[in-house]
C-alpha cells in the first residue's frame, strides 16, 4: 500500500508487469551472448537434464521439463531437492545438465543442489535475475535475466524472463519445437495481452467471491495452471488447486459441480482437444468455467450445460504460449486481490525470498 492511500493499489506489481515486454526484448537481444555462454553445452551429448527450483521458479521448471526434453532429445525431470540437501544421496550425474532456477538466486537449497551436482559429475547452469547471487556463483554457467529490481512479492517480470530464458536455452543447444522467428513475436504479444483488459472483469468478479477454484492445463501449458493458481493463492489469498488435465479427469473431477469455479488453459496445438474436453465436462456438471484461450468463443457441449467464459490471449505456438498465459494469470490475480481489498504487492505472511534449505 502506498503512503497516503487508504486502500491497496498494487502499484509495484502493476509497474513490474508493464515492464515485461521490454525485459523479454532485452533478453532476445542478448541471444549471441547466451550462445557464447552455452557454447560448451552444444559439444557434449547429454544423458539428461535435472531441474532444481522452488516456488514460482518450480512452475518455470515444469515448463523447462517439457521444452528441454522436446528440444534436446534426452530425459528432463524435476529434482527431488531433499535427496541432495537432507538425505545426501550420491546420485550419478556424469553426463547430466543440472539447471538451478531461482529468480533471486538466494534460495539455499537450490544452490546446494547445484553444488552437490557438480561434485557428482554434472555440468551446471543457473537461471537467475542476479548474476552475483549464491546460485550464480555455484554454477558453471549463468543466464542472468537483468530484469531490474522486483519489489512486489509475487514474481511477474522475473517469471516470464525465466520462461524466455528456458526457450533460449532450447534454441541455442537443441532443436526447438517452434518455428524460426517465433520467439521474436513474444514481446509484442505480451504487450498486447497487457492491453487486453476489457474481458477480464466478469472473471475477476467470479473469482473474487471467495469460492475455491481449479486451474487446469496440460503439456506445455501445465505450468500455466500451476503458476496462475500460485499467483491467486499469493495475491488473493484464495483456496486454489492446480491439476494436469489428465490427472484431473482420473478422479478429482468427481468433486466438481455447481459450486466449482474452473480456469482451463486451452492451447492451440496438440492438447487443445484435451483442454476443451475438460471444459465441456465441467460445464456439463454445471461448474462455472473460464477458458483462457486464443479462441473468441468456446461453446458448451450440450444445450443444458453452463456457459463457458472466454478470456482471450493472442495465438502463439503451444510450446511458447505459457508466457502469454502467465501474463493473463498475473492480471487476474492482481485484479482479484484488489477486488477483495488485499494488497498484491505485499501478501500477508510472505517475503520475497523464502530461505528453505
Dihedral angle sign, alpha carbons of residues 38, 44, 46, 50: negative
Name the percent of the chain lying above pLDDT 70: 98
Distance (Å, whole) CA 18 – CA 116: 38
What's the predicted TM-score (pTM) here? 0.95
Span 109-153, pLDDT tens digits: 999 999 999 999 999 999 999 999 999 999 999 999 999 999 999
Other beta carbons within 10 angstroms of residue 128's beta carbon come to 30
Domains and their CATH numbers in the chain: 11-177 (3.40.50.10490), 192-339 (3.40.50.10490)
Span 295-345, pLDDT tens digits: 877 777 677 889 899 999 999 999 999 999 999 999 999 999 999 999 999
- Residue whose entry in the numeric block shows the C-alpha cell 456457459: 307
Per-residue pLDDT for the chain (357 aa), expressed as one digit of tens each?
Answer: 444 456 788 999 999 999 999 999 999 999 999 989 888 887 778 999 999 999 999 999 999 999 999 999 999 999 999 999 999 999 999 999 999 999 999 999 999 999 999 999 999 999 999 999 999 999 999 999 999 999 999 999 999 999 999 999 999 999 999 999 999 999 999 999 999 888 899 999 999 988 889 999 999 999 999 999 999 999 999 999 999 999 999 999 999 999 999 999 999 999 999 999 999 999 999 999 999 999 877 777 677 889 899 999 999 999 999 999 999 999 999 999 999 999 999 888 777 777 787
Looking at the chain, how many residues does it have?
357
Question: Which of 197, 220, 186, 227 is closest to 326 using CA atoms?
Answer: 227
What order of strands is seen across the sheet that includes strand 213-217?
A: 240-244, 213-217, 261-265, 288-293, 308-312
| C-alpha cell, 5 | 492511500
| C-alpha cell, 147 | 530484469
Q: Are 277 and 301 in contact (CB under 8 A)?
A: no
Amino acid at each position: 500500500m502506498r503512503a497516503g492511500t487508504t486502500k491497496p493499489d498494487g502499484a509495484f506489481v502493476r509497474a513490474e508487469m508493464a515492464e515485461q515486454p521490454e525485459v523479454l526484448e532485452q533478453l532476445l537481444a542478448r541471444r549471441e551472448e547466451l550462445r557464447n555462454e552455452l557454447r560448451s553445452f552444444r559439444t557434449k551429448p547429454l544423458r539428461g537434464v535435472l531441474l532444481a527450483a522452488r516456488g514460482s521458479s518450480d512452475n518455470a521448471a515444469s515448463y523447462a521439463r517439457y521444452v528441454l526434453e522436446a528440444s534436446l532429445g534426452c530425459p528432463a525431470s524435476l529434482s527431488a531437492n531433499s535427496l541432495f540437501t537432507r538425505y545426501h544421496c550420491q546420485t550419478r550425474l556424469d553426463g547430466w545438465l543440472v539447471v538451478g532456477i531461482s529468480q533471486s538466486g538466494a534460495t539455499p537449497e537450490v544452490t546446494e543442489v547445484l553444488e552437490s551436482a557438480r561434485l557428482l559429475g554434472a555440468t551446471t547452469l543457473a537461471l537467475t535475475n542476479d548474476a552475483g547471487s549464491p546460485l550464480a556463483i555455484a554454477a558453471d554457467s549463468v543466464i542472468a535475466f537483468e530484469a531490474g529490481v522486483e519489489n512486489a512479492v509475487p514474481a511477474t517480470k522475473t517469471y516470464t524472463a525465466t520462461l524466455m530464458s528456458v526457450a533460449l536455452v532450447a534454441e541455442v543447444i537443441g532443436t526447438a519445437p517452434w518455428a524460426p522467428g517465433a520467439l521474436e513475436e513474444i514481446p509484442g504479444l505480451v504487450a498486447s495481452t497487457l492491453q487486453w483488459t476489457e474481458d477480464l472483469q466478469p472473471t475477476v468478479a467470479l473469482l473474487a467471491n471467495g469460492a475455491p477454484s481449479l486451474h487446469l492445463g496440460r503439456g506445455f501449458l501445465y505450468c500455466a495452471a500451476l503458476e496462475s493458481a500460485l499467483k491467486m493463492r499469493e495475491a488473493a489469498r484464495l483456496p486454489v488447486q492446480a491439476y494436469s488435465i489428465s490427472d484431473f479427469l482420473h478422479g478429482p473431477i468427481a468433486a466438481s459441480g455447481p459450486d466449482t469455479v474452473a480456469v482451463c488453459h486451452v492451447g492451440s496445438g496438440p492438447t487443445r482437444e484435451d483442454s476443451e474436453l475438460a471444459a465441456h465436462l465441467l460445464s456439463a456438471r454445471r461448474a462455472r468455467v473460464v477458458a483462457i484461450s486464443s479462441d473468441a468463443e468456446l461453446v458448451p457441449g450440450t444445450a443444458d450445460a453452463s456457459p463457458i467464459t472466454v478470456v482471450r490471449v493472442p495465438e502463439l505456438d503451444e510450446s511458447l504460449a505459457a508466457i502469454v498465459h502467465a501474463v493473463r494469470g498475473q492480471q487476474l490475480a492482481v485484479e482479484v486481490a484488489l477486488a477483495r481489498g488485499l494488497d498484491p504487492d505485499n501478501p500477508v505472511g510472505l517475503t520475497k525470498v523464502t530461505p528453505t534449505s
